[in-house]
A = this chain, B = another copy of it.
Amino acid sequence: MSQLSPGPGDAIRVAVSAVIFSLRSDPDADRLMIPLVRRTRAPHEGMWALPGGWPGTTEGLDDAAARTLAETTALTPSYLEQLYTFGDVDRSPTRVVSVVYWALLRSDLVDAQRAVAGAPENVEWFDVDDLPALAFDHNHIAGYALWRLRNKVGYSRIAAGLLPDEFTLTELREVYETVLGRRLDPSNFRRLLEGSEELVPTESFRTGKHRPARLYRYNADAEVETLGPLEA
């Protein structure tokens, strides 16, 4: 029981990985995507994997996740939230326990960071619903992250992490539709959101080829049931 006694824990190594969701534009529509890194050595050389690496001895797990993500992809989300720790015995040729983090990253911030840091080699964005066969158990991990995201979007303001500060109800609905992977009834959606205390109408409007649409923002004063970083 002592945390100082020699034990089998010695033979298990700790890694960190990250699943970063963003809405990337297709010619037709936005798609929910994650960045993957092509492995350059064994095991699974040449396969795509989640960005990640090894925590330093004097580095906390959160810091390690942010650092390894930045080193591999040049991406820096405002906040990474711990998702789950994967430790199946056979998930890697040697015994590795992976502490996985996730984040939402606004598309315009991805582009802005790319403009500064350049696009790293061996990194590409993939549609979460159309991933290739990934290294290790990373398909399983990505699938779990997606399940949690789709589950969470129903009862939280998670969509805020994928939108600018002000947005139209149509833009908000489209984020929900992309994340959930299905169409929502526009009238029902509008009625539900307009009646909630979650959203605050602004005095600004989006103008363009359609008739002007009012911009909304999330109500910072509304009581949020689950105040996790992903909803901040």
Contact = CB atoms under 8 A, between A and B. Distances in A.
Interface of A: 1-5, 7-15, 37, 39-43, 49, 52-61, 68, 72, 82, 84-85, 87-89, 92-97, 99, 136, 151, 154-155, 225-226
A13 B4 CA distance: 10
A82 B99 CA distance: 12
Q: Oligomeric state, in number of copies?
A: 2
A52 B97 contact: no
A225 B151 contact: yes
A7 to B, nearest CB: 4
A14 B57 CA distance: 13
A60 B88 contact: yes
Residue of A55, A93, A94 most packed against chain B (CB within 10 A)? A55
Contacts of A99: 85, 87, 97
B15 A13 contact: no
A55 B87 contact: yes
Contact of A41 (B2, B59, B93): B2
Given A9-B14, A9-B15, 10 more contacts: A1-B37, A1-B39, A3-B94, A3-B136, A4-B42, A5-B41, A7-B13, A60-B88, A97-B97, A155-B155
